[in-house]
Amino acid sequence: MSVIGNTALRFSEDQAMIMDVARAFCADRSPMASVRALLESDAGFDPAVWQEMVDMGWPGMTLPEALGGAGLGVAAAVPVFEAMGRSLLGGPLMASLLAGQLLLRAQVGNAADNALLAIAAGAPATIALLDSADWGAERIRCELQDGVLRGVKQQVLEAAAAEWFVVVAQEHNAPVLAVVPATAVAPAVRRDHVLIDATRRAQSIDFTGIQVSEEAVLRGPAVASALRDVRLMGALLLAAEAGGSAASCLDTTVDYLKTRKQFGKLIGSYQALKHPCVDILMAVDSTRSFVYHAATLLGEDALDTDAEIACRMAKAQATETLKYAGDRAVQFHGGMGFTWECDAQLYLRRAQWVQQAFGDAPHHRKRLAELLLDR
Amino acid sequence: MSQVSEEEKAAFRQQVAAWMQANKPADPGFLLPQSFMEVGSEQQLDFLREWQHKVWSAGYLGMAWPREYGGQGVDPVFQSIADQEMRRHAVPICFNVIGLGWAGPLINDIGTEAEKARYLKGILTGEDIWCQGFSEPDHGSDLGNAQLRARRDGEEYVLNGTKIWTTMGNFAKYMILLARTNPEAERKYDGLSFFLAPMQVAGVDPRPIRKLTGEYGFTETFFTDARIPASCRMGEEGQGWKIAMKTLQYERGAEAGAAGGLAFVRIAIDDMIAGLADVERDGAPALQDPAIRDQLVQMIMEEKAVVLGDRRAAIGPLTTDYPFSLPLSNKLRFTESTRRMRQLAINLQGADGGLYVGDEGAREGGFWQRAYLNSFSATIGGGTSQVQANIIAEHILGLPK
């Protein structure tokens, strides 16, 4: 068995159609002027645009039809996030989708159906996942004891918009999920983060003392497996988004190199600038290949080893690609690149956030080494 | 589309596999070339010639070529299957690559009956070795600018000039030659003609070039008033460029007209990892060293990206941004990742990485050291990586020259 392993890559007509729609929608609703206007807004997204996404059925895209979703599977959402990344379009979609997948995969019977129906209908949800700055931590610090939560969660994505929180906690050292309505999370326990990527919003939330009713707790072996899968899917969806951002970052840089003159020549004619652009193009190409390979291997069941390898590779590749693309974009714009006004900073700053979320490249490569070299 | 049934293909595959298994030669006790560009000694040549002859005798080479010229006239899909099985069984290469993959298919396509009868069978049996005379010392990969002069003199052409990087030039009987018959032509391309030139004539002097590996494999070929019959010209005067470009299309294998056979030995990253099983670093297995593991994973990803890129290139909706970026960057990607992988293989050997072919303690006989040095033939030949990057920047990204 070769370490190169599974190399399946398929793309369905459904996915192609969704990609066309998503790219046109994002380009139209998220021109750079809108992105910039939202940077300094409280919400970070335009509620009217979010409502359109809800009307198109995007929040429920991956949920079963019986729960008001489209039953398409996570693979169908991959082109949507790639398109959003390309246009730097934010909002609660990714947080909601991952929260929905976590509940769907963890629930026994219909325990989470009410929350899932709400998510499919467009009520934003999010996962309160991170206990510390360590995305690779195995141990869950937040506790659930006698129906009461204790612990602080970091970087809860799009928390201000969320109507539902899925809090990852441990009860007698077993992972559990507590479904908490936003009304139970008072403003006093929430602190808005200032993220380096200003196209997103997140909060730090102290859940200590919040009571969770018995029927709002998901327990059992499916929880651990669902958490593992959702971490991998989060890595993949962010990889798709980062790949889209890296592609438009490259376009931004290339456009500048074609118009800016120095020393009497278009600067794009200099090999010192040309060759890194080719490196970025090839890295963007690799990212897309890994992302859609991983999408090919996702199913409704728990992710198998091939799918895990693919998701980790996608994130490792995408993260490094966007970092490099953003870094060179600022540098190649020269003095302009150092300004707030230049779009290069948007990509550079996004890259710094994205590289960490759901594990950075060295983290995923470390896990990949176990999967590839120790078999 | 092939009309051959799946059953027929499977049965044939089984038959080839059995033959390869039974006839794969034992280790000859000296390093074999990994590609046709590395045949440096008579010893290697004799071995490979015998092997190619054996493959042809068994009926697994030139299968789609006409029967009267040594082929079998069957569907090319059979040859593709035979090639796949050769690769899978990691048998030696069929070394006469310029004949099998360039000159032969060209003659088969546009040659006269006389040319077919004269040349094709010898290409398949390995008796007649072919070389290629396109590149020249001062013009690198700028083939259109070839300056080697072919001057018509009665029923002969008189050749003067130099070709470089002639693979197996010192062993070859014939050369496919691109030469300038009309230096005054308005377009430089229109002054070129194409020849099936004999090498064993007075005034042709192939001088072996010693490579950085210490071995041979190429020659610099000097032509000084060398006279060849005018009948060696293929096509009309002035058609040389067109014909030379045509030879490049056979690279895609048997389906495109090539005779088949392995042109190079594929070196997989798995081979490298397997070779490291007993290497130690800081007193522990190297494969447990976190830094090494990270490097290996990066290398695996680099290789996997090449394979996945080929898959994605076939999916229209996933290639809309820059439709030709994957095919056009393939050479750059593949050759550079190959070079890096072989370099990594040396890095990981510890002190053994400093040994070379000829040292009895060298790992796998110095295979990786030699492979790394040879890998530059691909990152330099056929347009250097830097020229490739310029091409991609200008043609794909649209950056100014």
Give the CATH number of the domain where residue B76 resides.
Answer: 1.10.540.10
- Per-residue model confidence (pLDDT) at position B144: 85
Q: Quick one: B53 and B110 in the same domain?
A: yes
Q: Is residue B49 part of a domain?
A: yes
* Within-domain flag for B17: yes
Give the up-direction half-sphere exposure of residue B1: CA atoms within 13 A in the CB hemisphere.
Answer: 3
What contacts B175, CB < 8 A, 6 or more positions away?
A: B130, B131, B132, B133, B163, B166, B169, B195, B196, B197, B198, B199, B221
Element (H, E) at A155: strand A152-157
Residue B179 belongs to domain with CATH number:
2.40.110.10
Residues in chain B with CB shorter than 8 Å from the CB of A373 are: 273, 287, 293, 296-297
**Residues of B in Cβ contact (< 8 Å) with A20:** 317
User: Is A277–B393 a contact, with Cβ atoms under 8 angstroms apart?
Assistant: yes
Indicate which of A270, A287, A289 best probes the interface with B, i.e. most B CBs within 10 Å of its own CB. A289
Quote the Cα angle for B214-B220-B224, to 5°: 150
The number of folded domains in chain A is: 1
Domain presence at residue A293: yes
Nearest CA among A214, A216, A211 for reference residue A107: A216
Distance CA B281, CA B286 (A): 5
- A257 contact partners, CB below 8 Å, separation of at least 6: A266, A267, A268, A273, A274, A277, A332, B399
Say if the Cβ atoms of A268 and B399 lie within 8 Å: yes
**B298, B300, B305: residue with CB nearest A289:** B305
Instruction: Give yes or no for residue B55 having a pLDDT over 90.
Output: yes
| Closest-CA distance of chain A to residue B212, Å | 27
What does the pLDDT read at residue B362? 93
| A372 vs B: CB within 8 A | yes
Instruction: Work out the angle at residue B126's Cα, subtended by the Cα atoms of residues B124 and B130, and round it to the nearest 5 degrees.
Output: 90
CB of B304 within 8 Å of any CB in chain A? Answer: yes
Q: Based on the fold, state whether residues B35 and B94 are members of the same structural domain.
A: yes
Rounded Cα–Cα distance for residues B400 and A258 (Å): 7
Residues B241 and B282 in one domain: no
B314 plus B390 within the same structural domain: yes
> In whole angstroms, what is the distance from residue A277 CA to residue A287 CA?
15
Asked if B317 lies within 8 A of A288 by C-beta distance, the reply is: no
Average pLDDT, chain B: 92
* More confident position, B215 or B178: B178
Q: Considering the domain boundaries, does residue B212 fall inside one? A: yes
Residue B397: list chain A partners with CB under 8 A. Answer: 250, 254, 277-278, 281
Report if residue A112 sits inside a domain.
no
Burial of A258 (0-12, 13-18, 19+ CB in 10 A): middle
Number of domains comprising chain B? 3
Distance from CA of A365 to the nearest CA of B (A): 6
Split at pLDDT 50, 70, 90, the class of B140 is low
Write down the ipTM of this complex. 0.96
Residues of B in contact with A278 (CB under 8 A): 329, 332, 389, 392-393, 397
Give the C-alpha distances (Å, rounded to integers) separating A1 from B228, B280, B287, B309.
Answer: 54, 24, 18, 21
Which site among B304, B324, B331, B334 would you substitute to test the A interface, given the most A Cβ atoms closer than 10 Å to its Cβ? B304
pLDDT (tens, 9 = 90+) of chain A, 375 residues, equals 789 999 999 999 999 999 999 999 999 999 999 999 999 999 999 999 999 999 999 999 999 999 999 999 999 999 999 999 999 999 999 999 999 999 999 998 888 999 999 999 999 999 999 999 999 998 999 999 999 999 999 999 999 999 999 999 999 999 999 999 999 999 999 999 999 999 999 999 999 999 999 999 999 999 999 999 999 999 999 999 999 999 999 999 999 999 999 999 999 999 999 999 999 999 999 999 999 999 999 988 899 999 999 999 999 999 999 999 999 999 999 999 999 999 999 999 999 999 999 999 999 999 999 999 997
Q: Is residue B201 part of a domain?
A: yes
Look at residue A94 and tell me if it is in a domain: no
Q: In this complex, which of A5, A258, A368 lies closest to B400 when CB atoms are compared?
A: A258
CB contact under 8 A, B317 and A3: no
Pair (B243, B278) in one structural domain = no
pLDDT at B303: 94
- State both tokens at A80: 């949507």
Across the interface, of B269, B273, B400, the residue whose CB is closest to A268 is B400
* Minimal-distance CA residue of chain A relative to B312: A289
Establish if B395 touches chain A: CB-CB under 8 angstroms. Answer: no
Task: For residues B280 and B318, state if they share a domain.
Answer: yes
Residue B296 contacts A where some CB pair is shorter than 8 Å: yes
Pair (B287, B197) in one structural domain: no
> Which chain B residues are Cβ-neighbours of A8 within 8 angstroms?
311
pLDDT of B284: 95
- All residues of chain A having their beta carbon less than 8 Å from the beta carbon of residue B322 are 281
Which domain CATH number covers A232?
1.20.140.10
Choose from B318, B334, B391, B395 for mutation: most chain A CBs within 10 A: B318
Q: What share of chain A is helix, strand, coil (3-state, %, to 5)?
A: 55, 15, 30
Is B99 in the same domain as B136?
Answer: no
Residues B279 and B385 in one domain: yes
> Which B-chain residues 31-90 have CB contacts (< 8 A) with chain A?
none
* A48 contact partners, CB below 8 Å, separation of at least 6: none
**Coil/strand/helix, residue B313:** helix
Give domain status of residue B401, yes or no.
Answer: no
Look at residue B261 and tell me if it is in a domain. Answer: no
Domain region containing B139: 131-252
Asked if the model's pLDDT at residue B1 lies above 80, the reply is no
Exposed / middle / buried, residue B63 (Cβ in 10 Å: 0-12, 13-18, 19+): buried
pLDDT at B29: 85
In the prediction, which pLDDT does A105 show?
96
pLDDT reported for residue A245: 98
Contact A247 B321 (CB under 8 A): yes
Element (H, E) at B11: helix B6-23
- Residue in chain A lying closest to B269 (CA): A3
Q: Report the C-alpha gap between A152 and A189 in whole angstroms.
A: 9
Residues B297 and B236 occupy one common structural domain: no
- Among B325, B392, B399, the residue with its CB nearest the CB of A257 is B399
Q: How confident is the model at residue B2 (pLDDT cuts 50, 70, 90)?
A: low
Q: How far is CA A211 from CA A147, A208, A216, in A?
A: 6, 9, 10
The residue type at B342: R
Q: Are residues B217 and B292 in the same domain?
A: no
Give the relative orientation of helices A305-332 and A221-259 as an angle to the nearest 10 degrees: 30
Which of A258, A285, A288 is the closest to B399 by Cβ? A258
Boundary residue ending a domain (B111, B127, B143): B127
With tokens 């539902």, the residue in question is A164
- Structural domain containing residue A269: 223-373
Residue A5 lies in a domain: no
pLDDT tens figures, A84-121:
999 999 999 999 999 999 999 999 888 899 999 999 99
Q: So what's the pLDDT on residue A268?
A: 96
**Where does a domain end: B102, B127, B152?**
B127
- Residue where one domain finishes, among candidates B66, B99, B127: B127
B320: how many CB neighbours lie within 10 A of its CB?
Answer: 11
The partner residue sitting opposite B318, judged by closest CB among A268, A275, A288, is: A288
CA distance A192 to chain B (A): 36
Nearest to A372 among B300, B311, B329 (CB): B300
